[in-house]
Amino acid sequence: MLDDFYNWMLATGKSEGTARLYVGRIRQLELEHPNLLAVTLADLERYIADRRELAAETRKSIKSAFCSFYKWAHRMGLVSANPTELLDPVHVPATVPRVAPDDVVQMGLLTAPQDLAAMIMLARFGCLRLAELTTLHTRQREHDTLRIRGKGEKMRLVPMNDELMAAMLTLERDHGQGYYFPGRYGAHLHTSSVNKMITRHLGTNPHSLRHAGATAAYRATGDLRAVQMLLGHASIATTQRYLHIGMDAVKRAADGTAFVVSIRSWPTTTLPSHAAA
């Protein structure tokens, strides 16, 4: 049954990674409820509630897997009703994004080996996700633009600035055609390895570099839609959460709440009756 569910997800456009993740979520549910087709709304609510220690994004992913599975099961006639139709959404609280400081990144680039420096620049200048930069292949470069396949198999074009372009050409000269960050047996490095390399060198993770790049891009352009396209977000609301405006901008916003014209005393001709009393 889960093999059929997996194939259905691929047929409807979900990526292999998402399909595998959702099947894994359902297998975990099956450990507590062996008869998946008899699961009720209360069972699903209890399952999610029992995992309050997990991050909200993780619980939201679990709910999404449940919704996909029971939507498919209902369409296939395996269940008479979809138990997820009344399943409440998982609230993900807004957080202040962690942003890699520019001085830390620049100092790190001065001391990083060539390959590591390119990884850092792809995350900071190209705003690439960890998986996107780890699996980057030379066939994805078209002159000074990278063709990136992101989440949900969505394609986007990422222009490179001069510094990033020079770094990529250097890698091509030294490694030849293929993955920019080759691993063993012709494959690319693992994402966990790249994550450790960047984090150990900078003291901040690749995702904070992506946040920093997004913030810098918005400050330079003020164009939220352009930043959304650069990041490859489906929702502009997601892009907004990536931007770290900084307390200097918040201070300017707070200063802007002041009165344009201040009145220091009541004009005698318009003195309110309660004030006169």
Domains and CATH numbers, the chain: 2-75 (1.10.150), 102-251 (1.10.443.10)
Would the pTM of this model clear 0.95, i.e. be above it? no
Please identify every residue annotated as catalytic: 129, 151, 207, 210, 233, 242
Residue 168 near residue 114 (C-beta atoms within 8 A): no
DSSP H stretches of helix in the chain: 2-11, 16-32, 41-49, 56-75, 102-111, 114-124, 130-134, 162-175, 191-202, 206-221, 224-231, 236-242, 247-255, 273-276
- The pLDDT value recorded for residue 110 is 93
* 275 has pLDDT over 60: no
Residue 127 near residue 158 (C-beta atoms within 8 A): yes
* Proportion of the chain above pLDDT 70, given as a percent: 88
**Regarding predicted confidence, which is higher, 274 or 98?**
98
Q: What is the mean pLDDT of residues 151-161?
A: 84
**Closest by Cα among 123, 115, 124 to 188:** 115
At 130-152, the pLDDT tens digits run 999 999 999 999 999 999 987 77
At 27-46, the pLDDT tens digits run 999 999 999 999 999 999 99
At 228-261, the pLDDT tens digits run 888 888 777 777 776 766 556 666 777 766 667 7
Burial class (CB in 10 A: 0-12, 13-18, 19+), 123: buried
At 101-116, the pLDDT tens digits run 889 999 999 999 999 9
- The pLDDT value recorded for residue 68 is 94
Tally Cβ neighbours within 10 Å of residue 13. 10
* Proportion of the chain above pLDDT 90, given as a percent: 55
Q: What is the mean pLDDT of residues 69-98?
A: 87
Of the pLDDT bands very low, low, confident and very high (cuts 50, 70, 90), residue 221 is confident
Q: How far apart are CA 265 and CA 263, in angstroms?
A: 6
* 217 has pLDDT over 70: yes
